[in-house]
Structure 1
Amino acid sequence: MQEISKKSSIPWMKILFGSILLMILGLAIYLLSIFSGMKDTINAQMYQPIPSINQIQSEEKIAHGELINILFIGVNTKASNRTGSDTLIIFSLDPKTDSVSMINIPRHTRASLGSEEKEDKINRAFTYGGADLAVESIKSLLDIEIDYYIQLDLAGIAELIDGIGGLTIHNELSIEADDFQVSPGELHLSGAKALRYVEMLYQYQGEDLDQAELQQQVFETIMTKLTTSLTINKVEVIASFLGENIITNIDYDNVEQLVRNYSSVGGNISDYTLDGTEEIIDDEYYFIVPDSEIKKVQQLIVNPDTEI
C-alpha cells in the first residue's frame, strides 16, 4: 500500500490527472511495443523536443536512473475561452529513494516569463510560448532543472474513459447539484460525468471522507479497465488518447528506459503546493511566492521526507 503524505492541501483531482497520465503513458507504450509500426506512429504524433530542455542530458539521467523532474502541463485546448495552462505540477522521480515528489504550482503565481523582465501569471507562459516558455519560466522561478515535460489536454481524460466504456464505481454519498445528482450505491459514469463526480467528491470531502481513498478508487477503476482482458480495441483507444491529447519530449525509447529504471518509484509519495500570499497588482489577482518558499521546494525535491 502506498504511503501518501499530505504536506499541503491540494485539489487531488489534479494529482489524479497527473498520476493517470504518467502510468498510462508507460503502460500504453509498453503494450504498443508488441504491434509492428506503432513505434514510428507514437514518435511522430507525440514526440516534440523543446529548446528549454537539454535533451541529451535528460536522456543520460534516465539511462543511469538518476533523479529527474517532469513538468506536467494540463491544458484545455478544446475550451475556446481558455488558452493558458490549467495545471502545472512537477513530478520529481528518484529511484534511489523509491520516491515521488509532486509540486503543484498555482496557476496565478507571479513570475518572470522566460527571459522577459516583465512579470505575469505563470499559466500565461503557455499562452505566449507554449510548453517551451512554460518550462523555461518554471525553471527560472524555482531555479531547478526540468528534464521532461508532458502536455495533456485534460478533455482527453473524459474521452479515454468513454473509450473503455465508462466507469462503474461504488458511491457512498448523496450529491445534489444543479447539473449533477447521485445517490449511494453503484454508479456507471461516462467520461464527462466521471470527472464531474471527482470534482464533486473534492467539494464534499470531510473528516469521514479520505481524499486519498477516493482518488485511489477512481484511479484503480480506470487502470483495471485498461489492463484487464487486453483487446485490440483497448490498444486502439489508448493509442488514440496518446496521439490526440499528449505532447512530450519523451520518445518511445526514453519511455522504455523510464519504465525499466523507474518502475519502483511510488512507495513514498509526497505532494506539496507552493505557499505564498494573494495580492492585487495593477487590478489583477496574483499569487506571490517568497524566496524562502522556493528554497523549501528545492529541498523537498531532493529529499521528499523534508518536514515543511
Structure 2
Amino acid sequence: MRSQKKKKRTWLKITGIILLLLVIGVGVYAYNVYSSLKTAVETMHEPVVQKQSEKREKPVALTDKDPFSVLMLGVDERKGDRGRSDTMIVLTVNPNNNSVKMLSIPRDTRTEIIGKGTVDKINHAYAFGGVEMSMNTVENFLNIPIDYYMKVNMQGFKDIVDAVGGVTVNNTLDFSYGGIHFAKGNINLNGNDALKFVRMRKEDPRGDFGRQTRQRQVIQAVLNEGASVSSLANYSDIFAAIGKNVKTNLTFDQMVDIQKNYKSAASNLTQMEIKETGTKIGGIYYGLVSDQERQRLQTELRTQLELK
C-alpha cells in the first residue's frame, strides 16, 4: 500500500517537473519571440517630421479606441535612388463598428502634390518629398487625416515572403511576367515569384486595379502565413526581414495597443476602389478623378473615421 502511494507520489512529482519545464520552456520561448519582435519594431520605427494634422481636432488616442488611418507605401528603393511609391493603400480602422476599409490609390492618379506646388501623378509625391509629402498629398486628396504610415521596400519584400515560407494565392488571370508563368487557380509563390506576381500591370485587362488586387492578395497571404503556428519556428527570420524592409512611425507600444483594442476590426475588411478616367496630358498618361467621385470617397472615409 505504502509502495503504491510512494509510486503515485513519484509519478505526480515527475509529471509536475515535466509540466514545470514545459511552462518554463514556453515562457522562455515567448520571451524570445517578444524580445525579437520588440527589436524589429525599434529598427522599423522612423518618425516623420510632421505637425499634428489640421484635419484632426486632437491626436488619436489608441487606448481610447479612436478610429485611425494608415498609409501603406510600397516603394522600389535602390542605391542612390529614393524611388517612387508604386503602391499606395489607405487603411481606415474603426473598432466601434469593427471594420477596416482599404482603399488602393492608382499610382497615375492626377492630383495636387502638397509641398511641391504642382499637379502630377500621386506617386511622384514620394519621389519629390518622401513619406511626409506622400502623407500630406493623400490627406489633401481624400480630405482625411493620415495618422500613421508603413513603408515597405518592394526589393526586400521577397525576403519577407521567403521568411514565412512562401505564400499561396488564388490567381484569376493566366499570364507570364519576368520569365515566370502564372497559371490560373491556387499557386504557390516564393519571394522572387511573389514580387513579379504583384508587379505585372500591362497584360492585366484591369491595369493598375488588377495589380492592386494581386498586391492585396499577397499582403493578406503573408499576414496569414506569418500568424500560423508553422511560422513560429522561423520567427527570428521573419522579424529580421520585416525590420530590414519596413519603416513606420508607429511605436512598439502603439502596436501593442492596436493589437489589444482593434483586433476584432481586422476580421471585417472592405475593399474600396477609385473610379478614374484615363487620359493623356502633354503625352503623359494620367488617371482623372471627377469631383463627384472624390466627394464620394471622402464622405465614406470620413464617416469611417467618425469625423465631422
Compute the TM-score of the two structures, normalised by the length of structure 2. 0.71
Looking at structure 1, the residues matched to 289 and 182 of structure 2 have their Cα atoms a distance apart, in angstroms, of 39
- The answer for the alignment partner of 2:50 in structure 1 is 52
Q: Is the 8 A contact 2:276 2:288 kept in 1?
A: yes
Paired AA for residue 140 in structure 1 = N
Residue aligned with 1:115, SS: coil
Looking at structure 2, the residues matched to 60 and 143 of structure 1 have their Cα atoms a distance apart, in angstroms, of 17
- The answer for the alignment partner of 2:102 in structure 1 is 102
> Structure 1 residues 218 and 91, CA, compared in 2 at 3 Å: closer, same or farther?
closer
Looking at structure 1, the residues matched to 136 and 219 of structure 2 have their Cα atoms a distance apart, in angstroms, of 33
Per the TM alignment, residue 185 of structure 1 is displaced from its structure 2 partner at its CA by: 9.0
Looking at structure 2, the residues matched to 212 and 282 of structure 1 have their Cα atoms a distance apart, in angstroms, of 29
Per the TM alignment, residue 36 of structure 1 is displaced from its structure 2 partner at its CA by: 3.7
- The answer for the alignment partner of 2:67 in structure 1 is 67
Looking at structure 1, the residues matched to 117 and 259 of structure 2 have their Cα atoms a distance apart, in angstroms, of 39
- The answer for the alignment partner of 1:140 in structure 2 is 140
- The answer for the alignment partner of 1:154 in structure 2 is 154
Q: Is the 8 A contact 2:111 2:121 kept in 1?
A: yes
Unaligned runs of 5+ in 2: 1-29, 207-211
1:238 aligns with 2:255: no
Compute the TM-score of the two structures, normalised by the length of structure 1. 0.71
Looking at structure 2, the residues matched to 122 and 217 of structure 1 have their Cα atoms a distance apart, in angstroms, of 23
1:257 aligns with 2:257: yes
Seq. identity, %: 26
> Structure 1 residues 80 and 278, CA, compared in 2 at 3 Å: closer, same or farther?
farther
Looking at structure 2, the residues matched to 69 and 122 of structure 1 have their Cα atoms a distance apart, in angstroms, of 18
Paired AA for residue 285 in structure 1 = Y
Per the TM alignment, residue 166 of structure 1 is displaced from its structure 2 partner at its CA by: 3.1
Residue aligned with 1:265, SS: helix
Write out aligned runs for 1:64-213 (5 A). 64-78=64-78, 83-167=83-167, 179-181=179-181, 189-197=189-197, 203=204
Looking at structure 2, the residues matched to 290 and 214 of structure 1 have their Cα atoms a distance apart, in angstroms, of 25
Q: Is the 8 A contact 1:52 1:136 kept in 2?
A: no
Looking at structure 2, the residues matched to 95 and 173 of structure 1 have their Cα atoms a distance apart, in angstroms, of 35
Q: Which moved more, 1:277-286 or 1:172-181?
A: 172-181
Per the TM alignment, residue 219 of structure 1 is displaced from its structure 2 partner at its CA by: 4.1
Residue aligned with 2:300, SS: helix
> Structure 1 residues 290 and 244, CA, compared in 2 at 3 Å: closer, same or farther?
same
Per the TM alignment, residue 265 of structure 1 is displaced from its structure 2 partner at its CA by: 0.8
Per the TM alignment, residue 169 of structure 1 is displaced from its structure 2 partner at its CA by: 7.2
- 1:260-297 Cα deviation digits (max 9, x unpaired): 11101134322222223233223322222222222111
Paired AA for residue 84 in structure 1 = R
Paired AA for residue 229 in structure 2 = T
Looking at structure 2, the residues matched to 157 and 145 of structure 1 have their Cα atoms a distance apart, in angstroms, of 27
Residue aligned with 1:258, SS: helix
- The count of residues paired between Structure 1 and Structure 2 equals 267
Per the TM alignment, residue 92 of structure 1 is displaced from its structure 2 partner at its CA by: 0.6
Paired AA for residue 45 in structure 1 = T
> Structure 1 residues 175 and 52, CA, compared in 2 at 3 Å: closer, same or farther?
same
Q: Which has the higher contact order (CA 8 A, sep 6+)?
A: 1
Q: Which moved more, 1:247-256 or 1:50-59?
A: 50-59
Looking at structure 1, the residues matched to 285 and 174 of structure 2 have their Cα atoms a distance apart, in angstroms, of 35
- The answer for the alignment partner of 2:229 in structure 1 is 228
- 1:237-273 Cα deviation digits (max 9, x unpaired): 1211221111111010000001111101134322222
Paired AA for residue 100 in structure 2 = V
Looking at structure 2, the residues matched to 100 and 257 of structure 1 have their Cα atoms a distance apart, in angstroms, of 16
> Structure 1 residues 64 and 196, CA, compared in 2 at 3 Å: closer, same or farther?
same
Looking at structure 2, the residues matched to 195 and 74 of structure 1 have their Cα atoms a distance apart, in angstroms, of 11
Unaligned runs of 5+ in 1: 1-30, 206-210
